[in-house]
Amino acid sequence: MSHEPRLARALRELLAVRRVAALGTLDAAAPTQPFVSMVPFAVDPARRALVLHVSGLAAHTRNLQAQPAVSLLVTAGEVKGEPVHALPRVTIDGTARLLEPGSAEAEAARAAYLARFPEAEPMTQLGDFRFVLVTPTGARQVAGFGAARSVDAEELATALGA
């Protein structure tokens, strides 16, 4: 068994435990205006990517269709009495791609998403919802005070594929 560095393990565990991210996109109507929304996410280890399930009616969907560069912020939960400034977190930069309904990629994304959110199965039948695959291009991880680092796409892919 190979040794996994502490920060790499912390990153993998954070993405495994937390199920919600803040999604940053650029406004489709005003491309210099950032827009942030909340999205549930799943990890697709086979594709070493993140999976979102979005409505065609949502602003973030229109935004990522116009500009596929996105960021997702995943944070650990607050602990009463602990400083919030040291919360473990990661900002993942990536490229979003809407998957064609019924395609093999969409079915694989659906399986990964439902493995994490089985209660969302009825939503996957709605016609205006689509799966999005976010392929990471890099990240910035903060594992606590004095433990911040940049993570390249290769290391991030390894964390997602674990």
Query: How many Cβ atoms are within 10 Å of 21's Cβ, its own excluded?
Result: 24
**Mean pLDDT for the chain overall:** 92
Residue 152 belongs to some domain of the structure: yes
Residue 119 belongs to some domain of the structure: yes
* Pairing verdict, β 69-75 and 49-55: unpaired
pLDDT of 1 higher than 50: no
> According to the model, what pLDDT value does residue 5 have?
82
- Cα 48 from chain centre: 11
Q: How many domains does the chain have?
A: 1
Residue 86 belongs to some domain of the structure: yes
Distance (Å, rounded) from C-alpha 48 to C-alpha 55?
23
Residue 1 belongs to some domain of the structure: no
Residue 11 belongs to some domain of the structure: yes
* 132 beta partners: 52, 98
* 96 beta partners: 134
Residue 51 belongs to some domain of the structure: yes
Question: What confidence tier does 88 reach under pLDDT thresholds 50, 70, 90?
Answer: very high
Residue range(s) defining the domain that contains residue 94: 6-161
Question: What confidence tier does 128 reach under pLDDT thresholds 50, 70, 90?
Answer: confident
pTM of the full predicted structure? 0.92
Q: Which of the 8 DSSP states describes residue 100? A: P
Pick the most confident of 56-60, 84-88, 133-137, 155-159: 133-137
Residue 80 belongs to some domain of the structure: yes
Distance (Å, rounded) from C-alpha 28 to C-alpha 60?
9
> According to the model, what pLDDT value does residue 117 have?
97
Which CATH number does the domain housing residue 156 bear?
Answer: 2.30.110.10
Residue 75 belongs to some domain of the structure: yes
